[in-house]
Chain A
Amino acid sequence: MALFPDPFNTLLGLQTALDTFRTSGWLQSSPSGGGSYPPLNVFRKGDGFVLIAEVPGIARSDLDIQVKGRTIRLAGRKSVQYSEKASLHRRERLSGRFDRSITLPIEIDPDAVKAECHDGILALSLPRAEQDKPRSIKIG
C-alpha cells in the first residue's frame, strides 16, 4: 500500500468528477424557468416594482406569466413565420420557446399584479404585498 496516493490517479479522479458534474445536466436550464430570454429591466416605483421586457412579435396568447411569493415566471413561445415560397436573404430574428423566472427582494401581492403589453413591450406592475410592507411604530 502506497503511503501517498498516486498524483495522477488523484488528478484523473478530479477530472472525472468535474466531467460528470459538467455533463450531468445539473447546471443546464431546466423547465422550471432557468432561461435568460427575454432580457428584463426592473424599476422601482413607489412601494413596488415595475418589470419591463422586450417581447417583439410575441402574441399575448403565447405569453404565460405566473407570480408566486417573490418570484415571477415568464414563459412562452415566439414564432417567426415566412411565407412558404420565400427565399431568405437575412435571418436575424430568433424563434423558439422561453421560460425564465426572476426573484425580487420583496413579496408581491399576486392579485394586484397588472400586466400590459404594447408595441412589443411587456410591463408588469408588481405592488408590494401588504404583509410585507414595513410598519412604522410610534414611540409611546
Chain B
Amino acid sequence: MPDEHEIAVREKQELAKKEEKTIPGRYYVPTADIFETEDALTVILEMPGVEKQHVDIALEEDTLRVEGQIDFSKYQGMEPVYTEYNIGHYARAFTLSGKIDRDGISAQLDDGVLTLTLPKAKESKPRRIAVN
C-alpha cells in the first residue's frame, strides 16, 4: 500500500515577498495540490489554524490570490518552551488560464484544508465527436 510509509517532516517555507504586506507578521507558503478533472481544476491548500472568516480569496485578472490569517490571540498567556515550527499567516498566488469559469469558483475549508474548485469554462471542456 502506498499509504503505509512514514510521513517526513517538511519545513515551512517562508513566502518570498513580491510586494509589501500591510499586516505585520511572517507569511508562509501553504502546501498545495493541484489536480484536474474533466469539469474542473481543484486546488487544495493546507492552512492549519486559519478560521473560515480569515480566509481571503481574490481574483484579479489572471491571478488567484489566497490568503489566510492566523489568530495569534490564542497563543496569549503561553510561554513557548520547545518549538519545532513557526507560526504565521499563509499566502499564495496562482496564475489561471483563461479557460476557467470565473463565476463558478467555489471554496471550502475543512480542518485547515482549503479546497478551491475552479470549474472549466464550457468551451474548453473536452467534446466527444462521433465519427459517422
Interface residues of A (CB under 8 A from B): 29, 35-45, 49-50, 54-59, 77-80, 82-83, 85-99, 117, 119-121
Q: How many residues of B contact A (CB 8 A)?
A: 40
Rank and list the top 5 A-B pairs by shortest CB-CB distance, nearest first: A120-B112, A120-B48, A56-B112, A43-B78, A39-B84
Can you name 23 A-B pairs with beta carbons within 8 Å?
A: A36-B8, A36-B9, A37-B9, A43-B78, A49-B81, A56-B46, A56-B113, A57-B110, A83-B35, A88-B33, A88-B35, A89-B35, A89-B36, A91-B33, A94-B31, A96-B3, A96-B4, A97-B5, A97-B6, A117-B111, A119-B51, A120-B46, A120-B112
How far apart are the CA atoms of A55 and B31 in the complex, in Å?
13
Q: Is B44 an interface residue (CB 8 A)?
A: yes
CB contact list, B25-41 vs A, under 8 A: 31-38
Task: Assess A37 versus B6: contact at CB under 8 Å? Given A44-B78, A45-B78, A121-B49.
Answer: yes
Which single residue of chain B is at the shortest CB-CB distance from A91?
Answer: B33
Beta-carbon contact of B81 and A35 below 8 Å: no
Shortest distance between the CB of B41 and any CB in chain A (Å)? 8
Beta-carbon contact of B46 and A93 below 8 Å: yes
Beta-carbon contact of B33 and A50 below 8 Å: no
Beta-carbon contact of A121 and B112 below 8 Å: yes
How far apart are the CA atoms of A77 and B122 in the complex, in Å?
38
Q: Is B24 an interface residue (CB 8 A)?
A: no
Task: Assess A42 versus B80: contact at CB under 8 Å? Given A57-B113, A85-B38, A91-B33.
Answer: yes
